[in-house]
Amino acid sequence: MKNSFLSYYKTILEKVSFHPRIFRKELKKAFSTLSTEERSQLKQWIRNSQN
Please state, in angstroms and rounded to a whole number, the distance separating the CA atoms of residues 18 and 36.
Answer: 26
- Rounded to 5 degrees, what are φ and ψ at 39? -60, -45
Q: Which of 10, 1, 7 is nearest to 46 (CA)?
A: 10
Please state, in angstroms and rounded to a whole number, the distance separating the CA atoms of residues 16 and 20.
Answer: 8
pLDDT at 50: 81
Residues 1-51: tens digit of each pLDDT: 556 899 999 999 999 999 999 999 999 999 999 999 999 999 999 999 987
